[in-house]
Copies of this chain bind each other. A is one copy, B any other.
Amino acid sequence: MAVTLAKRMDSLRASEIREILKITQREEVLSFAGGLPAPELFPVEELKVISVKVLEEMGREALQYSTTEGYEPLRKKIAERMNQVFKTSVCADNILITCGSQQALDFSGKLLLDEGDIVLCESPTYLAAISALKAYGPRFVEVPTDDKGMIIEELEKMLETQKGIKLIYVIPDFQNPTGKTWSIERRHEFMELVKKYEIPVIEDNPYGELRFENEILPSLKSMDRSGNVIFTSTFSKTFCPGLRIGWIAADAKFIEKYILIKQGADLCTSMRSQMEIATYMDVFDFEAHIQKLVTVYRKRRDVMVETLGKTMPQGVTFTHPQGGLFLWVELPPYMKAMELLKECLKDNVAFVPGDSFFPNGGVENTFRLNYSNMSEEKIIEGIQRLSQVVKKYVMI
């Protein structure tokens, strides 16, 4: 076309992987590729009651434009819940409601990034955070990451030597894609550094409440003395994605800027959806609902871990997540997950090759498995199929 698009569009391309994954939507494919919560656990019946109640009691307000920052009672409930679960000290004024937490990532790029700025992130990191931030033209520098989080010495080296670091993006709880969780010590060390260098941190925490064992660890935000941690989360995993309600929790200095961004970007989030979630939390037992999810997902994780253990050949390793939706597999270094996927699709089983989760690419022997969106029987069947294919390629 003769029309000239903005330069940033050069870096926004349809990913090859997305095209391949379209095949995984065929009914006969057992797909561990998506990141979907289990729809059979959505509170459909409860929402029927709630949606009528909201329309009856607050119909006109629910269907009108709302304030950009969001529905005050919901923002208050979110703040209270965060303080209880994640040990923060936030109030309604620290909360901006967004259209899912994905929107919080887009807004964060808009707020913080000029072209050429550096974003530090875990290696690997969340695929769609890369695409959201990429639109603002940054360079991604991956911080080496072990089972306990970012490696602090490596991070400090970067903070000392690299110019133009504008943002550190992390997912400390049940990370997407690895399922790993940062240790409490690592959190403290990380926050010491952040305080020293005054770099904004996005603590992306969509899965934190889905913990299968032990206590929820204090969030980075709870250790934040400089006010530079921007916490983002969502009801997509604990309630349902279809209402598109996420949030940003941050210091007022950030929130007032985010509000300006949201005004320009989409004016406001659906008032009705916000009222529904707030009303649900009043009328039903949100905590009990989350426990129901945890029970089901824990079993699915158990079954996946167990089947992987039983069927995968030596040389293949995998994580044992304590919560969340994902598990990460590492193949022997001579194997390529993309090639493996093509073979697996012939046997109607699918996953996401890990390469896309490394913003600078180059790691080809890993893949991500999702266990939240499949029955235990199908998980067993799917992992068995997958292991069969892997076995063909592993040299013993």
Contacts and interface: CB of A to CB of B under 8 A. Distances in A.
Interface of A: 1-9, 12-14, 36-37, 39-40, 42, 44, 47-48, 51-52, 55-56, 59-66, 98-100, 102-103, 106, 110-114, 117, 128, 131-132, 134-136, 166, 198-200, 227-228, 236, 240-244, 253, 256-257, 260-261, 263-273
Nearest to A49: B52
A14 to B, nearest CB: 6
Contacts of A110: 6, 8, 135
A326 to B, nearest CB: 15
Nearest to A103: B266
- A interface secondary structure, majority: helix
A224 to B, nearest CB: 13
Considering the complex of A and B, which 9 residue pairs feature the smallest CB-CB distances, nearest first? A63-B242, A44-B59, A39-B60, A63-B240, A131-B264, A51-B51, A103-B266, A2-B198, A42-B63
Contact of A103 (B55, B136, B236, B265): B265
Contacts of A263: 128, 131
A265 B7 contact: no
Contacts of A267: 100, 102, 128
16 contacts: A3-B228, A5-B112, A8-B110, A9-B111, A13-B260, A14-B260, A42-B59, A63-B242, A63-B243, A66-B242, A103-B266, A134-B264, A135-B264, A135-B265, A243-B272, A270-B270
